[in-house]
Chain A
Amino acid sequence: MTWFLYLAAGAALAVSAAASREKTKKALNKAWNSFLNVLPALAAMLFLVSISVALLPERVIASLIGEESGFFGQILASVIGSITLIPAFVAFPMAKVLMEHGAGAAQMAVFASTLMMVGVATAPLEASFFGWKATLFRNGMAYFYSFAVGYVVWLAVKAWM
């Protein structure tokens, strides 16, 4: 998978550079800046999650957001996902570590889904563009739909993993 990513990025880069130096330079600049931007959050998450997972017994993680935590765990995951502003680049590795230490697939899917689609903190900004009616409907639907996403992922993981 990793080598495939490098291959794809390398090929895309070559095609882009052949077509336009200018645009390629801009793209690489943007890539570098986004990378630098996400690094501090990524580092903070890794420090905190590593020590938390090492300190908390798996039993505790499982009872909060494990498979047996059921609907309570999904609600908890959805609230955290809706409120926090964590980039997906940080959230996916975090979900991986948590799942290796007792977190459930459905709960992590609900967390990832609300994180990406629901934004409580950014709602005022969203409303300044689309109005409160559209903002409330979009976020509300995204919130409830995230549980459907959790259910689908739970079914898939149960069936094939």
Chain B
Amino acid sequence: MDVRKALKRWRTAMASLFIAAVLSVAFPRAGREALSLLGMNVGTILGILPPVFVLLGLFDAWVPRERVAPHLGETSGLKGVILAILLGASSAGPLYIAFPVAEVMIRKGTSLRNAFIFLGAWSTMRVPMILFEIQNLGAIFALSRYGASLAGVLLMGAFMERVLGPKDREDILARFAEHRAG
């Protein structure tokens, strides 16, 4: 990577370091505390990130999202719901990467309910992420949040299906054609 690109990418981090350093000089006691906090956390975080990212990468490479999409249609029932959750939970990346993926799934036959369940699972139920969350915030916090999110994802999927009709589905597919053209 060239230096200019690296500098740009690290700009915010360097600015933060600068602010923290100035404040540490101005308030030496807080500065020392901040430094020990930093030391404690950097080690732990860098220690757990590598396996989490390896798992995310592997999921991304192996989960056949596009081939599963047709099995998530209107008549797929409970099987479709479970598959949608599994697909979302085995994903990688922020939610806005999931929008085009969900769109392709809808185009390949996935029902709107299952598409939104997939989006919900993608956003809050990713498996490598929950391991990271347990490590940071403890099993009780992480698992109760996970359980509550599962209920919410199902509820929201059902509700979205109620709110959106066949016309909305057609609009979504029409927009897909526009994305293709543009």
A interface with B by C-beta (< 8 Å): 1-2, 5-6, 8-10, 12-13, 16, 23-24, 26-32, 34-35, 38, 40-48, 50-51, 53-55, 85, 87-89, 92-93, 95-97, 99, 105, 108-109, 112-113, 116-117, 119, 122, 125-126, 128-131, 133-134, 137-138, 141-142, 145, 148-149, 152-153, 155-157, 160-161
New contact pairs (11) apart from A53-B37, A93-B44, A155-B144, CB-CB < 8 Å? A1-B48, A8-B55, A23-B61, A50-B20, A55-B34, A113-B149, A117-B124, A131-B168, A137-B159, A149-B148, A157-B140
Measured CB to CB, the nearest residue on chain A to B149 is A149
Neighbouring B residues of A46 by C-beta, 8 Å: 38, 41-42, 45
- Interface flag for B102 (CB, 8 Å): yes
Neighbouring B residues of A109 by C-beta, 8 Å: 141, 145
A89 to B132, Cβ gap below 8 A? yes
B156 to A26, Cβ gap below 8 A? no
A156 to B96, Cβ gap below 8 A? no
A47 to B20, Cβ gap below 8 A? yes
**Size class of the contact patch on chain B:** 35 or more
Neighbouring A residues of B30 by C-beta, 8 Å: 51, 54-55
Complex-state Cα separation, A89 to B93, whole angstroms: 10
Measured CB to CB, the nearest residue on chain B to A53 is B37
Interface of chain A: mostly helix, strand, loop or mixed: helix
Complex-state Cα separation, A116 to B124, whole angstroms: 6
Measured CB to CB, the nearest residue on chain B to A123 is B96
B27 to A138, Cβ gap below 8 A? no
B136 to A95, Cβ gap below 8 A? yes
Neighbouring B residues of A128 by C-beta, 8 Å: 175, 179
Which 5 pairs show the lowest CB-CB distances between chains A and B?
Answer: A31-B57, A156-B144, A9-B51, A27-B57, A27-B61
- Interface flag for B79 (CB, 8 Å): no
